Amino acid sequence: MQKSISFIVATTLALSAISGIAEDKKKTNPAAALDGYRFEFPVVGKMPENPRKGADGLSALVKGDPKKTDNFKAVKKFGGEPGKRYKVTLRFRGVVEPMMYKDGQKDGEYFYIGGKPNNGTYNIYKIAISSPESHFFLNRQDRVGHKIFTIDYKRTIEIEGGATVTLSGDGQNGRLITNFKKLVVADIAPFPKPFHGQFIQMDVVDVTEVK
């Protein structure tokens, strides 16, 4: 009996230590506030059993004028030391519709550096950094249309210690392309069920100080 109690106590202490280490790492990671953030555009109502191909739907974000309230924004504080710059590798996974951007730089199939939106109705996914001042879009395509697709890619950006990171989305008109294909992303909630709408989950893969 004494041995059993000792084993339970030892196991509990070990698990607490592991948990404490994980929490300490999270606190010391300058990008901890960004890790796991989700951009979400939910659709009103329940997902139909047999969605119509190319179907759009009403945005559940709208609380008034659809041209002014179909949006969201989260402001995060990047950690680290002020005056130091960090390379932050981010992984983006989700289900999105296409959007066009201009006056910036295309980086791969979906990532767009700088510039501005080049369409007035499709969903915008954006990251803005206060220092060094920069911004990025996440769902770039050459053309818009009633399409829905999954993304899974990584990009590395630079952020200064203490910078403000603004994560935002703008549906622009109160409607969005629904997840009519019932697409899912493995290991990303609500997997194995499809999300009724669109989303991007952003995970921090690596953070290194720029030397």
The pLDDT score that the predictor gives to residue 139 is 98
56 in the same domain as 22: no
Return phi, psi of residue 52, to 5°. -75, 135
**Mean pLDDT, range 171-187, rounded to an integer:** 98
6 confidence band (pLDDT: 50, 70, 90): low
CA 91, CA 77: separation in Å to the nearest integer?
19
Whether the link from the prior residue into 190 is cis, omega within 30° of 0, is yes
Radius of gyration of the CA atoms of the chain, in A: 20
Whether 38 and 9 map to the same domain: the answer is: no
| Domain residue limits at 61 | 33-209
Task: Convert the pLDDT of each residue in 31-81 to its tens digit.
Answer: 999 999 999 999 999 999 999 999 999 999 999 999 999 999 999 999 999
Give all strands of the β-sheet with 164-170 in edge-to-edge order. 71-77, 164-170, 124-129, 134-137, 111-117, 101-107
Confidence of residue 121 (pLDDT cuts 50, 70, 90): very high
Average pLDDT, the chain: 91
- Same structural domain for residues 21 and 85? no
- The verdict on 72 and 50 lying in the same domain is yes
Q: Which of 121, 124, 129, 89 is nearest to 110 (CA)?
A: 124
Alpha carbons 46 and 204: distance in angstroms, whole number: 31
- Tell me what pLDDT residue 9 has: 46
C-alpha distances out from residue 34 to 21, 110, 200, Å? 19, 20, 13
Mean pLDDT of 13-27: 47
- Take residue 132 and report the two structure tokens written for it: 């060094």
**Residue 9 sits in the same domain as residue 48:** no
Split at pLDDT 50, 70, 90, the class of 24 is: very low
pLDDT digit string, tens, across residues 131-176: 999 999 999 999 999 999 999 999 999 999 999 999 999 999 999 9
Q: Are residues 177 and 88 in the same domain?
A: yes
Q: Which of 14-28, 93-107, 178-192 has the lowest mean pLDDT?
A: 14-28
Does residue 110 share a domain with residue 92? Answer: yes
Same domain, 79 and 19: no
Give residues with Cβ within 8 angstroms of 110, minimum separation 6.
92, 138, 139, 140, 141, 151, 153
Structure tokens at 211: 């030397």
Q: Identify whether residues 146 and 176 lie together within a single domain.
A: yes
- The strand order across the sheet containing 149-160 reads 37-42, 197-209, 85-96, 149-160
- Total domains in the chain come to 2
Of 133 and 12, the one with more pLDDT: 133
Tell me: do 22 and 100 sit in the same domain: no
Residues 8 and 75 in one domain: no
Task: Tell whether 51 and 89 lie within a shared domain.
Answer: yes
Res 22: pLDDT: 42
